[in-house]
Amino acid sequence: MTAGLEKDIASRAGRQHGLITRQQLYELELGDASVRYRVRAGQLQRVRHDVFAIPGAPQTREQSYLAAVLAFGPGAVLSHESAAVLWEVPNIAHERLELTSARAHRVRLRGVTAHRSVAFLSEEHTVRHEIPVTTVARTLVGLSARLSVLQLGIATDDALRRNVLTLNALRRCVGGLGPARGRRTSRVHEVLAARLPGYEPGDSDLEMRVLRAVVAAGLPEPVQQHWVRLPTRLCRIDLAYPEPIRLAIEVDGFGPHNTRHAFDHDRARANDLVLAGWTVLRFTSATSDDQIGATVASALGRLGHEAAS
């Protein structure tokens, strides 16, 4: 093997806590036979299925986390208690190795608890210490059934002090999510109500619910708060599929702040979008998640076909 290949392997593994996957070795033009030889010769150490460590790499907690994420496959992120430990969240009594993915098929990994989220938004996961992981906001929401309101409050305040969380991020994350196994959104709402004067969940969560319904339907995640320059005005669309689709999704909440001026302005703005070649869909709190997904899917199918023709 050339020195260049060895350097490439060491470079890739060096960015991954000493780990490299079989797929990454394939990309470096190492076939199965070469991988098996390297394992027998001690040049690679099998850590998990299709995940290897280079000799001498420190066996750290971070390495075990990343090995599980890499073995699970694309789209998997560290979550729940494991994510809380990585983010140094207080009040985690014991640690489980937990992952979350949008994949329907769960890969079975020894010692790993796998969760599935069908409405996993891009803003709810990130990378910390080279490990894909849920954000602090998503981590706290995911642990809301395991922690008391007091514990969630302490964890929230600690994360706020360390600048790894904002209250707006926590509000957006819990927005549109209902109770589920392992999740008690009411506790998160209590935490927010104690820290945000006048906080009331309701139609303020509607945009996030529509966004989650679209993603849960298996559709591409739309752009949030997309600005469009029209001949007569600059307007912001709640959710959008920009060029060449040009599909605008507007969310209409009903509340005491609605005025005649706002009503008229929204309709005029929608007309301007249509005249500029946009298709506008409008949803309210009365629209079910299934209706949202089906309507957006139908519109995307038609507009995609028109854009391709």
Judge contact between 124 and 135, C-beta under 8 A: yes
Task: Give the confidence band of 285 by pLDDT, cuts at 50, 70, 90.
Answer: confident
Judge contact between 207 and 236, C-beta under 8 A: no
Judge contact between 173 and 120, C-beta under 8 A: no
Task: Give the confidence band of 258 by pLDDT, cuts at 50, 70, 90.
Answer: low
Listed residue (188, 121, 95) closest to 148, CA to CA: 188
* pLDDT average, residue stretch 83-102: 88
Give me the pLDDT at residue 149, please. 95
Threshold 0.75, pTM exceeds: yes
pLDDT for residue 308 is more than 90: no
Report whether CATH 3.40.960.10 matches the domain 205-308: yes
Give me the pLDDT at residue 257, please. 44
Strand duo 51-53 + 19-21: pairing = antiparallel
The phi and psi torsions of 45 (rounded to 5 degrees) equal -120, 125
Task: Give the confidence band of 104 by pLDDT, cuts at 50, 70, 90.
Answer: low
The phi and psi torsions of 67 (rounded to 5 degrees) equal -60, -40
Task: Give the confidence band of 3 by pLDDT, cuts at 50, 70, 90.
Answer: confident
Q: Which residues contact 47 (CB under 8 A, 6 or more apart)?
A: 19, 53, 63, 67
Task: Give the confidence band of 95 by pLDDT, cuts at 50, 70, 90.
Answer: confident
Residue 91: DSSP 8-state: -
Task: Give the confidence band of 299 by pLDDT, cuts at 50, 70, 90.
Answer: very high
Quick one: tokens of 105? 């098929």
Task: Give the confidence band of 145 by pLDDT, cuts at 50, 70, 90.
Answer: very high
- For the chain, the average pLDDT equals 89
Domain ranges (residues) in the chain: 3-56, 63-201, 205-308
Residue 111 three-state SS? coil
Give me the pLDDT at residue 5, please. 87
Quick one: tokens of 3? 């020195």
Longest distance between any two alpha carbons in the chain, whole Å: 76
Listed residue (12, 19, 84) closest to 58, CA to CA: 19
Task: Give the confidence band of 100 by pLDDT, cuts at 50, 70, 90.
Answer: very high
pLDDT for residue 88 is more than 80: yes
Task: Give the confidence band of 260 by pLDDT, cuts at 50, 70, 90.
Answer: low
Q: Give the per-residue SS3 of 70-85.
A: HHHCCCCEECHHHHHH
- CATH no. of 3-56: 1.10.10
Q: How far is CA 230 from CA 226, 246, 249, 269, 280, in A?
A: 13, 13, 17, 10, 14
Q: How far is CA 166 from CA 2, 96, 135, 192, 196, in A?
A: 49, 26, 11, 11, 11
Strand duo 77-78 + 97-101: pairing = antiparallel
Give me the pLDDT at residue 261, please. 63
244 preceded by a cis bond (ω within 30 of 0):
yes
pLDDT digits (tens, 9 = 90+) for 189-233: 999 999 998 776 655 578 889 999 999 899 999 999 899 998 878
Give me the pLDDT at residue 140, please. 96
Task: Give the confidence band of 106 by pLDDT, cuts at 50, 70, 90.
Answer: low
Give me the pLDDT at residue 307, please. 75
Residue 251: DSSP 8-state: E
d(CA 71, CA 22): 10
Give me the pLDDT at residue 254, please. 56
Helix, strand, coil % in the chain, rounded to nearest 5: 45, 20, 40
**In this predicted structure, which of 48-62, 158-172, 173-187 has the lowest mean pLDDT?**
173-187
d(CA 185, CA 190): 9
